[in-house]
Amino acid sequence: MANKRTLKKEINYVAGELLSECLCNKYLIPGTDAEKVDALMGKIIGIQDDFLCRVGANGDKDPKKVKVYYRKLRADFDKAIDEIFEDLAALNA
């Protein structure tokens, strides 16, 4: 991890891309359930808020603990994004 600012930008970028994909599904693909898309968009925003708060929440000064904390944060974020992709794919199935 280079720094917190870069990590926050990455989280915002990924969330923005997922939200735009949801909007494309909602308005451009016929037969997509709008309520499910809205719920998925709410979930994406919740994930974004949660992870942005977690980026700034680490108050430990020990470099080893900080490294472990951010490694776990990245793994959790990747897992949450994979779940969103699965939900998004289920909308189009």
**Looking at residue 86, which CATH number applies to its domain?**
1.20.81
What's this model's pTM, rounded to 2 decimal places? 0.90
pLDDT of residue 92: 78
As a whole number of angstroms, the distance between CA 50 and CA 72 comes to 14
Predicted confidence (pLDDT) per residue in 42-52, tens digit: 999 999 999 99
**Domain of 17, in residue numbers:** 1-91
Query: How many C-beta atoms surround the C-beta of residue 36 within 10 A?
Result: 16
pLDDT of residue 58: 80
Predicted confidence (pLDDT) per residue in 6-65, tens digit: 999 999 999 999 999 999 999 999 988 999 999 999 999 999 999 999 998 887 788 899
Q: How many domains does the chain have?
A: 1
